[in-house]
Amino acid sequence: MRKVFQISYEYVASPFYVAGESYGGKYVPAIVRKIHVENPQAKIKINLKGMAIDDGLIDPYNQWDYGLVMYQVGLIDEQELERVSIQTQLGRRAIELKQYLLVSFSI
């Protein structure tokens, strides 16, 4: 980001927001933290004002347990609920084992 402001210095004073959706729930806070930590020592300071996350994946371990809700509103039947529940448990177990590549294929 600092390179962008080096090239387009006229934007340095502009308010800067970091936004994302879905997996942005992971990378938006990481980007904001990096800017926040590095800004005090930076030659070019980013005028960070905030962040926005829409429909963010922040805590997949807990967010993925949506099978029962889908069943209760009629989006899936009992067989599909069982399948979703199994996949959710597989995904959670992969997270516990830090097998993150498996997680992406579990759900």
Per-residue pLDDT of the chain (107 residues; tens, 9 = 90+): 788 888 888 889 999 999 999 888 889 999 999 999 999 999 999 999 999 999 887 888 888 888 999 999 999 999 999 999 998 998 899 999 998 888 776 55
Please indicate, yes or no, whether residues 48 and 64 belong to a single structural domain of this protein.
no
Please indicate, yes or no, whether residues 48 and 66 belong to a single structural domain of this protein.
no
* Rounded distance between C-alpha atoms, residue 56 and residue 22, angstroms: 4
Please indicate, yes or no, whether residues 8 and 27 belong to a single structural domain of this protein.
yes
Please indicate, yes or no, whether residues 86 and 66 belong to a single structural domain of this protein.
yes
Domain count, the chain: 2
pLDDT of residue 107: 56
How many residues belong to the chain?
107
pLDDT of residue 105: 67
Question: Under a CB-based contact definition with an 8 Å cutoff, are residues 32 and 18 in contact?
Answer: yes
Range of the domain at 20: 2-54
Please indicate, yes or no, whether residues 6 and 35 belong to a single structural domain of this protein.
yes
Please indicate, yes or no, whether residues 50 and 68 belong to a single structural domain of this protein.
no
Please indicate, yes or no, whether residues 76 and 102 belong to a single structural domain of this protein.
yes
* Rounded distance between C-alpha atoms, residue 65 and residue 88, angstroms: 6
* Rounded distance between C-alpha atoms, residue 1 and residue 10, angstroms: 14
Instruction: List 17's β-bridge partners, or say none.
Output: 50
CA separation, residue 42 to residues 27, 28, 29, 64 (Å): 21, 20, 19, 39
Last residue of a domain, one of 12, 36, 54: 54
Largest CA distance in the chain: 59
